[in-house]
């Protein structure tokens, strides 16, 4: 049940007549040492951690280690229920991460809010059971696995497009499956996200995974929701996921080192940012 590309993944879905989540679960059960029950339990634990990290800052005030973020995860109510919740929860997870709390790196700590942000928003809005959310996480895992195998998820290698971009691609694909879409539509949504976020640089102020990371998690959740809705509406993607992953990787390698998690350029080098973190880049 292993697959090396999106094309192979879709072929398995057609062969088994099942969604992406089913193929990824079978892969986890056959490629590793864990039993099917252990695989299910671990995924359930992952979802529980995601939910706690998304909700904790809304109940208890948290302060980040660098003092750049904290208290931003508030729902102002102008975007509609799904997006409002997705923004709130995505930003909340980054507050937990920046205050040394427990999160799930999906696929990285700096992009950890996108997947739980959007999926929890969908669960609450549409009253979806936890069992469905576990399926969604297997779907996410398949997209993340393809990105790690064929490209990168590291900001230091490919910029923020590799972190927030892949996280949003994972969330978009999972959202499509949750809403009844086909495997082909899932990969269409993932590819659309990467196209929309292509070239995004990684420029953390003060070298901390706080700002603008938190804002970009919210933007990633919104981008994922847009791509999922487009795919579910039947809008096709000219460039398949496999090609978009390679494109993203090539673009990332061409991004100057100052814009790949070094805090030497972009937002990190803005005068206000330098003053806020003690002039570290001046």
DSSP track, 74-116: -----S-HHHHHHHHHHHHHHHHHHTT-----SS-GGGTTHHH
Query: Would you put residue 207 in left (φ > 0), alpha (ψ -120 to 50) or beta?
Result: left
pLDDT at 66: 83
Supply the pLDDT for residue 282: 45
Radius of gyration of the chain from Cα atoms? Answer: 18
Cβ-proximal residues to 210 (8 Å cutoff; 6+ apart), any chain: 64, 65, 66, 68, 69, 94, 98, 204
Q: Is 100 left (phi over 0), alpha (psi -120 to 50) or beta?
A: left
CATH number of 6-276: 1.10.4100
CA distance 162 to 253: 11
CA proximity to 1, closest of 29, 27, 39:
27
- Average the pLDDT over 260-268 and give the result: 96
Per-residue confidence band for 128, with pLDDT thresholds at 50, 70 and 90: very high
Count other Cβ atoms within 10 Å, centred on residue 175: 30
Predicted TM-score (pTM) above 0.85: yes
CB neighbours of 28 closer than 8 A, spacing ≥ 6?
Answer: 34, 39, 138, 141
Residue 171 contacts residue 178 (beta carbons within 8 Å): no
pLDDT at 79: 81
Retrieve residue 107's tokens: 């696929």
- What is the structure's pLDDT at 280? 55
**Contacts of 68 by beta carbon, 8 Å cutoff, 6+ apart:** 98, 205, 206, 208, 210, 211, 276, 277
| pLDDT 10s digits, 49-95 | 999 999 999 988 787 878 877 877 766 677 899 999 999 999 999 99
């Amino acid at each position: 049940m292993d697959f090396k590309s999106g094309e192979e993944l879709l072929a398995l879905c057609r062969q088994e007549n099942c969604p992406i989540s089913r193929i990824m679960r079978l892969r986890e059960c056959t490629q590793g040492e864990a039993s099917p029950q252990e695989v299910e339990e671990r995924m359930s634990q992952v979802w529980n951690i995601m939910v706690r990290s998304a909700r904790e800052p809304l109940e208890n005030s948290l302060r980040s280690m660098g003092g750049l973020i904290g208290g931003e995860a508030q729902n102002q109510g102008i975007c509609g229920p799904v997006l409002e919740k997705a923004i709130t929860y995505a930003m909340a997870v980054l507050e937990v991460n920046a205050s040394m709390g427990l999160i799930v790196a999906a696929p990285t700590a700096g992009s950890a809010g996108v997947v739980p942000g959007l999926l929890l928003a969908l669960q609450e809005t549409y009253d979806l059971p936890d069992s469905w959310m576990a399926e969604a996480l297997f779907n996410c895992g398949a997209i993340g696995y393809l990105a790690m195998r064929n490209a990168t998820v590291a900001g230091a290698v490919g910029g923020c497009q590799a972190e927030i971009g892949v996280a949003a691609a994972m969330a978009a694909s999972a959202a499509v499956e949750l809403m009844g879409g086909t495997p082909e539509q899932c990969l269409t949504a993932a590819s659309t996200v990467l196209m929309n976020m292509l070239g995004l640089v990684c420029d953390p102020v003060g070298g901390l995974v706080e700002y603008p990371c938190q804002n970009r998690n919210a933007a990633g959740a919104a981008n994922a929701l847009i791509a999922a809705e487009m795919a579910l509406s039947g809008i096709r993607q000219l460039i398949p996921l496999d090609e978009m992953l390679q494109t993203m990787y090539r673009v990332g390698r061409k991004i100057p080192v100052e814009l790949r998690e070094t805090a030497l350029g972009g937002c990190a080098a803005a005068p206000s940012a330098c003053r806020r973190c003690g002039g570290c880049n001046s």
